Amino acid sequence: MKLDLITTEDLEIFKEVLLAEIKGILKHHTTPNEKSEWLRSAEVRKLLNISQGTLQNLRVNGTLRYSMIGKIPYYKREDILNVLENNLLKH
């Protein structure tokens, strides 16, 4: 029977590889999906580079429509694009 020893260095290498893979998975799942019709708040904030308070103001003043499922607001990608187009500044 063959006996394999695992060293502290082996564990450190395994940890680094595992953390890199987890970070890659999380990055992939938190990036706004261009194919998704409905976006969550974090995705909208990241897409528009705005704060949570600014997004809340856009909801409250009716600038950006949303749909609530439970306590989670969802935004249509099309509505976000329309808000951007309708607020273009003319010089």
pLDDT tens digits along 46-78: 989 899 999 999 999 999 999 999 999 999 999
pLDDT at 42: 94
Radius of gyration, alpha carbons of the chain: 21
Report pLDDT digits (tens) over 3-23: 888 899 988 898 888 888 887
pLDDT tens digits, residue range 21-41?
Answer: 887 877 766 555 567 789 999
pLDDT of res. 31: 54
Phi and psi (nearest 5°) for 39?
-120, 145
Per DSSP, helices labelled H in the chain are 8-30, 41-48, 52-60, 77-86
Question: What are the structure tokens assigned to 85, written together?
Answer: 């187009």
pTM: 0.59
> Are the CB atoms for 41 and 73 separated by under 8 Å?
yes
Q: What is the pLDDT of residue 1?
A: 78
